[in-house]
Structure 1
Amino acid sequence: MNRVKISSHSPVQKLGHSQLSSSPKFKLAAVSSQSSEAQSMESSPLIPGLPDDVAISCLLRLPVRSLPNCSSVCRQWRQLLGSRERFFTQRKLRGLSSSWLFVLAFDRCAGKVQWRVLDLSLLSWHTIPAMPHSDRLSPHGLRCLVLPDGALLACGGAVAGTDRSLDMVLRFDLQKDRWTSMNRLLTSRRFFAAGLIGGAVYAAGGSVADLAELDSAEFLDLCGGEWRPMPSMLSNLVAYDSAVLDEKLMVTEGWTWPFVFSPRGLSYDPKAESWSQLPTGLREGWTGPSVVLGGHLFVICEHENLRMKVYDKESDDWEAVAGSPVPRKISKPFSVGGENHRICVVGRDLHTAIGEVKRSDRELLPERKKASFSVRWLVHDAPQSLRGSTPSTALLLHG
């Protein structure tokens, strides 16, 4: 095995160094009896014909799934691409950022849950390290959200094939590409309401063993890292869906067959530290998975041909979003995620519809009494390797 030493011809530049613009070379030379081979390796560019700083920018834009193959091209590429942690760290140092759709999916062939990630810029799928105990984790009941620093938080859930609820709390750091355990929930729970408000994560309701419903609630102070109790809900409630709107945690139990009784719904105001009933129109019109875009609550209707609608707070009513329903390629079960003006709907086999939501203010349409929204869909077909996967959670992260 050849030893490696640092060449003394010029100082070594670290990746992300402020002087990268001067097109430095990687100065790693193998100790060999053939000095010409070492000199050739020293002077070889990362990509022939390109300055190394430009080459690095190109390599840092590669699809994540291609990193193992690309890192075997040469020693210099392996230094940059051989570690996902190093790859994402260098992207961050260079100000590069992409949108990633994280989907928690159950793989019927493998019989376990797995996080799949869609690069929304390159439309390329890859995986991340498995969550601890994912081989015995149920795909349903877990609650996930994005933290202010861009990390993914997963908490609660259930053991597959049992009625046992979990109190686990896990954090995935995109830059470090690994999971870490955090302080556990005060109460084991699944199918509960969860949301991020200010610098705290809130968890309320849900169920425990024997499907007993909970009215307890708690919050995690992200600065202190400890879970603390908070006022109990007005009634025991298992959450079908929840959302944060106007700095309040909204939760609905959803409609159930035969649709005779109006679903219950509650709202928690952290400032007042109190619970209240959801407005009637909001409760009765909340008929599918939701996402908040630009301060507005949107829903993909499960019982209305997967049409999209938006809640109007002034009238306590729902307005249909102009445009076609979610494309037929997307079939149930499906999950919804999004932010800003983009919504993503992931269906069976992980086929994904990406919708661009536009708003026409009343100033532009003076004949209308309220804002109008429209959506335009683009469908991304998942590769054959993802067939048999069903989604349970979808979130957007950046990095």
Structure 2
Amino acid sequence: MKSRKREAATASSEQGICSSGEWRGDERGGGGGALLPGLPDEVAALVLARLPRSLLLELKRVCKSWKKALEQPFVAETRAGLPGCMEEWLYVQSWNSYTGKVAWWAFDWQVGKWLCLPTVPRRRGVSAEVFGRASAVLRGKLYVMGGKAGPCGPTLRDLFVYCPLRNKWSRRKQMISTRHSPLVCVLRGKLYVLGGFDWDNQRMDASEVYDYEKDEWAVIENTGHPTLPAPSWYKKDWRPEWQSIVLNNQSYFCSYTEEDGRAFIKEYDPETGIWKLKKHKLKALLRYGLSTVLAGKLHTVDWAAGRVRVADTSGMGWIQMKEIQNLPWVQIWRANPQMVGLGTSLFVVKRGLQIMSIDVSKVDSGQLLRFWGAPMGPGVKDEEVLSCEVLAL
């Protein structure tokens, strides 16, 4: 009972405390001293909120007062309201084919520093590694849901939320149905979990939507769901058989290939819950390339030709990048890469957590490419990239 009360208190503090954006000095606690000598606590809190994101976790170790202050929602709300203060980090879910472990990593691309996140909590009694967890970013937090415990274990309906300020996972209300490897998207401020697979890897049509403000799930319609193939884990060179994107927070597309090899693309309508088949050239790009949304437009790396294609709802066009044609794209593609958009660059993350960025704003200058090494640690070269998210703070 005490643990449940503690979890409820933590969830409520993360959701609603200081929602007005005002500093709550009564929550500082811990010693009664001023945050910064000579300054009112309200002003000192503004100073701390403006500091680089990479320092926030380190500064929490200074004293209890700073720890309490930096964990308040006030910090995130202040940073969001200051031009140029928000920093985007890359979050990577990986599976180590040698150790069999699944982990989450955060990458600060501005300083080239990796951070290993705390392990996602497990349900009591579940000892096997959990695969097939879907993820999404909503309101500055990382949401992870569902999964399957081991090759023969049960499917789960757990929902965990990672807060970057606290560097901790917390539990939220479980999904209505158990599932693994569903399609997940954030549309108009709500989290949609569409389809997925049951314990026997049979396709599910049941879908639901999560309201983060109420911490409630609701069943929604799901007609014409894409016939996705069940993913296969526990082997090297794991690769998803579909890609999905959200454009302008309005449209959600899924591109996939059926057993007979035919490629399709469908668009989901959250108002009606109906998947509509789209006769669109994007299906080939989504299925056979690396795709992500950057500055509201769909960017796809055509790895076979070594160029980038840009598309939006109004049309399609090519961005010629001769500098990337000489890269070993076949080897990169075989390393099961994932791609996300950060700032003005496309970040490609491949096996071993090796990162390459392509700055699409410097097409004419020639300074297009930048590379980062993997984090230090044994067995990192065996990390298979399962998913990538971008979280701003």
Do they superpose with TM above 0.5? yes
Structure 1 residues 305 and 130: alpha-carbon distance in aligned structure 2, compared to 1, 3 A threshold: farther
Residue pair 2:266, 2:277 contacting (<8 A) in 1 also: yes
- The CA distance in 1 between the partners of 2:37 and 2:119, in whole Å, is 29
Q: Tell me the secondary structure at the aligned position of residue 354 of structure 1.
A: strand
Cross-structure match for 1:168: 158
Letter in 2 for 1:249: Y
Cross-structure match for 1:218: 208
- The CA deviation at 1:395 is 1.3
Cross-structure match for 2:368: 376
Letter in 1 for 2:114: W
Aligned residues: 333
Look at both structures and tell me which one has the larger radius of gyration over its CA atoms. 1
The equivalences for 1:255-334 within 5 A come to 261-286=261-286, 287-301=288-302, 304=304, 307-315=307-315, 319=318, 322-323=321-322, 324=324, 327-328=327-328, 330=332, 332-334=335-337
- The CA deviation at 1:277 is 0.8
- The CA deviation at 1:110 is 3.9
Cross-structure match for 1:347: 350
Structure 1 residues 308 and 156: alpha-carbon distance in aligned structure 2, compared to 1, 3 A threshold: farther
- The CA deviation at 1:18 is 5.1
Residue pair 2:194, 2:205 contacting (<8 A) in 1 also: yes
Structure 1 residues 80 and 255: alpha-carbon distance in aligned structure 2, compared to 1, 3 A threshold: farther
- The CA distance in 2 between the partners of 1:16 and 1:307, in whole Å, is 55
Provide TM-score, normalisation by structure 2.
0.70
CA-based RMSD of the aligned residues comes to: 4.0
Structure 1 residues 132 and 297: alpha-carbon distance in aligned structure 2, compared to 1, 3 A threshold: same
2:184 is aligned with 1:185? no
Match of 2:142 among 123, 127, 152: 152
- The CA distance in 1 between the partners of 2:374 and 2:215, in whole Å, is 38
- The CA distance in 1 between the partners of 2:39 and 2:271, in whole Å, is 45
Q: Tell me the secondary structure at the aligned position of residue 241 of structure 1.
A: strand
Cross-structure match for 2:133: 142
Deviates more, 1:169-178 or 1:277-286: 277-286
Cross-structure match for 1:125: 114
Letter in 2 for 1:115: W
Match of 1:396 among 375, 385, 390: 390
Letter in 1 for 2:357: I
- The CA distance in 2 between the partners of 1:326 and 1:392, in whole Å, is 26
- The CA deviation at 1:349 is 1.0
Structure 1 residues 199 and 104: alpha-carbon distance in aligned structure 2, compared to 1, 3 A threshold: same
- The CA deviation at 1:345 is 1.3
Unaligned runs of 5+ in 2: 1-29, 80-84, 229-240
Q: Tell me the secondary structure at the aligned position of residue 284 of structure 1.
A: helix
- The CA distance in 1 between the partners of 2:151 and 2:298, in whole Å, is 34
Structure 1 residues 185 and 62: alpha-carbon distance in aligned structure 2, compared to 1, 3 A threshold: closer
Structure 1 residues 152 and 57: alpha-carbon distance in aligned structure 2, compared to 1, 3 A threshold: closer
- The CA deviation at 1:120 is 1.7
- The CA deviation at 1:207 is 1.9
Between the aligned residues of both structures, percent identity stands at 18
Residue pair 1:358, 1:375 contacting (<8 A) in 2 also: no
Deviates more, 1:264-273 or 1:119-128: 264-273
Cross-structure match for 2:381: 387
Residue pair 2:221, 2:272 contacting (<8 A) in 1 also: no
Q: Tell me the secondary structure at the aligned position of residue 280 of structure 1.
A: coil
The equivalences for 1:56-71 within 5 A come to 61=52, 63=54, 67=58
Residue pair 2:222, 2:273 contacting (<8 A) in 1 also: no
Residue pair 1:240, 1:254 contacting (<8 A) in 2 also: yes
Residue pair 2:134, 2:181 contacting (<8 A) in 1 also: yes
- The CA deviation at 1:384 is 3.9
Q: Relative contact order, CA 8 A, sep 6+: which one is greater?
A: 2
Residue pair 1:112, 1:136 contacting (<8 A) in 2 also: no
Q: Tell me the secondary structure at the aligned position of residue 136 of structure 1.
A: coil
Unaligned runs of 5+ in 1: 25-52, 72-76, 361-371
- The CA distance in 2 between the partners of 1:18 and 1:248, in whole Å, is 47
Cross-structure match for 2:40: 19
- The CA distance in 2 between the partners of 1:196 and 1:208, in whole Å, is 22
